[in-house]
Amino acid sequence: MNRPTYGDAYDSGRHEAETPAARRHGLDPGTLGPNEEMVLRFLYYSLPEPPVSAVASPSWASDEGGGGVGVDRISVLPDDLLLNIISRLPARDGAHTTALSSRWRRLWRSAPIVLIDTHLLQGGAAAEGRRPPRDGSVSRAVTSAVSAALEAHQGPFPFVSLTCSFLQQADHDVIGRWVHLLATKGVDELVLVNRPWLVHWLFLPVELFVSCSSLRRLCLGTWLFPDTRHLPRGATTFLKLRDLVLGCSIIFVDFFDFVLAASPELEILTHVGSATASARLASRSLRCAQFCISAVDDVRKINLLRCVLVRIRIGHAPQLRVLGYLEPGVQTLRIGNTTIEVGTKPSPATTVPSVQVLALAVPFHIAIRVNITPSFLRCFPNVETLHVESKRFLETTGDINDNPNFWNETGRIECIQSHLRTMIFHGFGGEDCEFAFLMFIAENARVLETMVILFEDGLREAVGATALCSAKWTSGESKARFVASRLSGIGIAWSLKAAADFSFDDPFLCL
């Protein structure tokens, strides 16, 4: 039997998400707790791929014949070709070309160069991007080399990635100088991640937010952000900034106001594992906002939202198409000025008709959480694709949901009755309370085309599934397909990069 495509996408994504990301940060295992480990792994996984690799090409036909060619033809190539070649070299190899001959002496300084600090490591560590596991002579040598390279080169820098240094409060001048040089010489894409975790209480220099106007992409990790309340308002510093990643940082209230106002072209905002009291997203350009493993509330005025938040307020978002994961009962949802509660009657003031893809995480065994779920669903009357993550292993206090007729008694839910075409149930555990929800969908979703139920591999026997297949499907014959998944039951899997790729319609399937 052919496996459904949903299951395939799910499983292959899982494999890819886990293998290369494992320990990419390279820190000493002893330095991090399990949560920090998880968040950092996630952050490093979401950093952009460098455009230049330190992997050399060992093979060359003439090397085999003893190496060396007679006539120097490379040095007579025109400047722009040589500059082009140099700009594809790792920084150190590039700087080495200054020592070749007088013809090469001045070229490197004016070639646009890619500066990646892992390339400044010794031998194999550079090619593999193995970052130093702890603060010490290796990381200090890299920090000094970065400083010297930034001083020596005239810029601009198309891509700079600095992720090896362990900067502490005493290094305030170092980061200050880096930012100053980058701001004055010009940088297009900048990745700036301090190590190991937020222990050094080092503030990012304000200059980054007021002078780095050439940036198109910016990734910042494990920093203490400056208090932007004192910065001048109304300045559009980041005229070209399209993609902003913030991770594992302390970010002040009002920062989002500031940075969104300063970035008129910003399309993708990603926020990983940072504590933030409030993120008010008011932007005309933003197309995708992702908040992962974060504590944030208050979100308004954007076109597309993909998130894990605590309190959400949707103000004015007429083009919000994708939303999730919402956790009814954990998160408070406000639409306009109405807080959604059990029994909130749907009205134009409490609905977001633009949302077509919705994802919910629900512990079906906890009464208080299930009870409010219909109210959440009623806020999004036009949902065509619904993802539901069953949170079976959630430890929580609260009464057990023991009403088998809960869903039948809940009344009409517009999106399920009239619009739902695709239902994907993640983490199915074969429990009665989960069945009750799926039966409700089967018996009420009139235009349903597909119901995919992903279950944990080990539960194949327990799932059985016969009851659902013999249900009275209002859409005709049974639409249920059961798919075993290694992922089920261990929480929500997510790929920041795939989710921010606008060529995919449904980010909850792009792992």
User: Which residues in this chain contact other proteins in the complex, by CB under 8 A?
Assistant: 54-57, 59-63, 67-75, 77-78, 81, 84-86, 88-93, 95-105, 120-123, 127, 141-142, 144-145, 147-149, 152
Nearest-approach distance from CB 485 to other proteins, in angstroms: 24
149/167 with CB nearer other proteins: 149
The distance of Cα 361 from the centroid of its chain, to the nearest Å, equals 18
Burial label for 31, CB within 10 Å (0-12, 13-18, 19+), is middle
Nearest-approach distance from CB 222 to other proteins, in angstroms: 24
106/412 with CB nearer other proteins: 106
What is the CB-side half-sphere exposure of residue 146 using CA atoms within 13 A?
Answer: 29
Nearest-approach distance from CB 137 to other proteins, in angstroms: 11
144/470 with CB nearer other proteins: 144
> Between vectors from CA 197 to CA 191 and to CA 200, what angle results, nearest 5°?
100
Nearest-approach distance from CB 155 to other proteins, in angstroms: 15
DSSP 51-109: SS--------HHHHTTS--SS--GGGS-HHHHHHHHTTS-HHHHHHGGGT-TTTTTHHH
Q: Residue 297 contacts by C-beta under 8 Å, 6 or more apart in sequence?
A: 277, 278, 279, 309, 310, 311, 312, 313, 332
Nearest-approach distance from CB 110 to other proteins, in angstroms: 14
What is the CB-side half-sphere exposure of residue 282 using CA atoms within 13 A?
Answer: 9
What proportions of the chain, in percent to the nearest 5, are helix, strand and coil? 35, 20, 45
DSSP 111-154: S--EEEGGGGS-HHHHHHT---SSSSHHHHHHHHHHHHHHHH--
54/241 with CB nearer other proteins: 54
Distance CA 443, CA 445 (A): 6
Distance CA 86, CA 52 (A): 11
Distance CA 80, CA 147 (A): 27
Nearest-approach distance from CB 36 to other proteins, in angstroms: 29
The distance of Cα 106 from the centroid of its chain, to the nearest Å, equals 40
Amino acid identity, position 95: A
101/408 with CB nearer other proteins: 101
Nearest-approach distance from CB 106 to other proteins, in angstroms: 11
Cis peptide leading into 196, omega within 30 of 0? Answer: yes
105/412 with CB nearer other proteins: 105
How far CA 209 is from CA of 100, 183, 230, 429, in Å, comes to 39, 10, 12, 48
Nearest-approach distance from CB 424 to other proteins, in angstroms: 25
- Element counts in the chain: helices (H) and strands (E): 18, 18
160/448 with CB nearer other proteins: 160
Q: Are 359 and 326 in contact (CB under 8 A)?
A: yes
Nearest-approach distance from CB 265 to other proteins, in angstroms: 26
Nearest-approach distance from CB 298 to other proteins, in angstroms: 42
Nearest-approach distance from CB 400 to other proteins, in angstroms: 49
86/465 with CB nearer other proteins: 86
75/408 with CB nearer other proteins: 75
Q: Residue 298 contacts by C-beta under 8 Å, 6 or more apart in sequence?
A: 278, 279, 280, 311, 312, 313
121/309 with CB nearer other proteins: 121
1/61 with CB nearer other proteins: 61
110/285 with CB nearer other proteins: 110
Q: Residue 79 contacts by C-beta under 8 Å, 6 or more apart in sequence?
A: 107
Nearest-approach distance from CB 154 to other proteins, in angstroms: 13
Burial label for 310, CB within 10 Å (0-12, 13-18, 19+), is middle
39/145 with CB nearer other proteins: 145
Nearest-approach distance from CB 121 to other proteins, in angstroms: 8
* 169 phi/psi in degrees, rounded to 5: -50, -40
- C-alpha closest to that of 244 among 200, 297, 283, 298: 283
Beta bridge partners of 453: 425, 482
